[in-house]
Chain A
Amino acid sequence: MEKRHWRCFVCNDIHHGVAPPGLCPTCKVPNAYVEVSAAEARRIVGGGADTSLAPDEFRTALERFAAGNEFRLNPDRERVDLLLRGVFENERRYGLKFCPCRVRTKDWEEDLRIVCPCNFTVHETYQGAPGGACWCGLFVRRT
């Protein structure tokens, strides 16, 4: 199913998905989303304040993300630092935070699967593996 762009008519939140959210997560108004073009969605998202994340802020974002899950950031700080360096270098060179342990295929949809954090819960290194970890070892299962 093809993902499309949707805009909340009240607060201008943008959603990219196969269907609009029933309730706007920001302003809580029901049935608020109208379909817009990708170009319009990009202009709205790109025109506001610069919300780029510095590496330390991204680390905090990853910690917050992991806090509600069965995994956590690897306690090996040196490893995490190395991986975040790679992720940011890839963003600088190629525009997205690509995984430092995989390579782009140049197929857009396929490459979106290697933007960090990826859906590593399907990796064989994580699923069912004792001490499971994402392919790079940035995230590890909580013990």
Chain B
Amino acid sequence: MAKLLMFHGQECPHCRKMMPRVERLEAETGLRVDRREVWHDEANQDLMRGYKDALKPKCGGQLRVPAFLNAETHDAFCGEVEYETLKDWALRQ
């Protein structure tokens, strides 16, 4: 199964909006998204920085959250999107 990661921040409003969509995605598709909070957890920050080459070109040249990443293919996107867009991304992995 594809290893899907979501980097999010506890005080990030876009991330909060995306959480229920991620939960719905998991419930509907059986996929699992590994959620990593970055501002309160330095290990997760380091993990995100480790993927900077994959994330920055898709995230305005920065390490923005929420960020969604396939840890194997490095297919990624950032920001708040509708549920269908999230699902399309997850299913093409």
Q: Is the CB–CB distance between A102 and B63 below 8 Å? A: yes
Q: Give Cα A12 to B14, complex, Å.
A: 43
Number of A-B contacts (CB under 8 A): 62
Count of chain B residues near A, Cβ 8 A: 21
Q: Give Cα A135 to B52, complex, Å.
A: 18
With a cutoff of 8 Å between Cβ atoms, the chain A residues found around residue B63 in the complex are 102-105
Q: Check if A21 is an interface residue, CB within 8 A of chain B.
A: no
Q: Is the CB–CB distance between A136 and B12 below 8 Å? A: yes
With a cutoff of 8 Å between Cβ atoms, the chain A residues found around residue B48 in the complex are 103
Q: Check if B64 is an interface residue, CB within 8 A of chain A.
A: yes
Q: Check if A114 is an interface residue, CB within 8 A of chain B.
A: yes
Q: Is the CB–CB distance between B11 and A86 below 8 Å? A: yes
**Secondary structure of the A contact surface, majority rule:** loop
A–B pairs, 27, beta carbons within 8 Å: A82-B11, A82-B16, A86-B10, A86-B12, A87-B11, A89-B11, A90-B39, A93-B39, A100-B10, A100-B11, A101-B14, A101-B64, A102-B63, A103-B7, A103-B9, A103-B39, A103-B48, A103-B49, A104-B45, A104-B63, A105-B52, A114-B62, A135-B64, A136-B12, A136-B13, A137-B13, A137-B14
